[in-house]
Amino acid sequence: MKRKLVKVTIGVAAAVTLIFAGFGAKSLADNYWSGHADVVAINAALDKINTKLQTKNQALATAKSDLAQTQTDLATTKTALTSAQTDLATSKQQVTTLQQQLTDLQNKYTTDTANLNTQIQQKIAEIQQKITDGNNAVDAKQKEVDAKQAEVDSKQKEVDTANQTIDSLNSKVTDLQQQLATEKASKTSQLTQDQKDLLQAQQDVSDTKTKAESIAAQE
């Protein structure tokens, strides 16, 4: 734009020179005022062009400065974008790693839970088996006790039977003793065969009593 303004200025100067050369001094003096007005108009136009040029140059400088700032901002933004993309990639990698860790922990939890449940079931089965074995042992002991009780009851019945036998024998002994007393009272005068029979009866009674006492002692 400056070059264009210089060209215009040079052109105007050349035109003025030609005017002075062509008309001479007198013509120049005669036409001074009208040419002067043209020069003033041209200078005014040049001032306007110069003002516009300066304004445009200022705007151009501002635009260049804004462009440079924008380019700087763009570079900064690109750097920030690259950093953000790097952070995003890192974050994605971290998320992937954390997800894998979570999956591993979930798998471990599932496995540990299954193992623990298996151990619990095994312990329950062992306890139930011990309870069953204990119940069986109690039942076996109860059967032994019942068998011993039955044996005791059987022995008690034998004792009861032996006592009844002893009572019966004692009753017989008493009867025989009473009979012997009666015999002695009624036959005090008979001393021969009757004495022998009496002695034999006494011996039988003594033997029976001894046998009964022996049976009672065994029980």
Which tokens go with 102?
Answer: 């979570």
Q: State residue 217's pLDDT score.
A: 66
Give tens-digit pLDDT for 23-38.
444 454 455 556 677 7
In three-state secondary structure terms, 190 is coil
Q: State residue 160's pLDDT score.
A: 82
Which tokens go with 199?
Answer: 């002695």
Give the span between the Cα atoms of 200 and 186, in whole angstroms.
17
Rounded to the nearest integer, the mean pLDDT of the chain is 77
- The angle that helices 32-186 and 2-30 make with each other, rounded to 10 degrees, is 160
Q: State residue 49's pLDDT score.
A: 84
Domain boundaries, the chain: 153-218
Regions of the chain short of the pLDDT cut 70? 1-35, 184-198, 211-213, 215-219
- SS3 for 129-154, per residue? HHHHHHHHHHHHHHHHHHHHHHHHHH
pTM above 0.75, yes or no: no
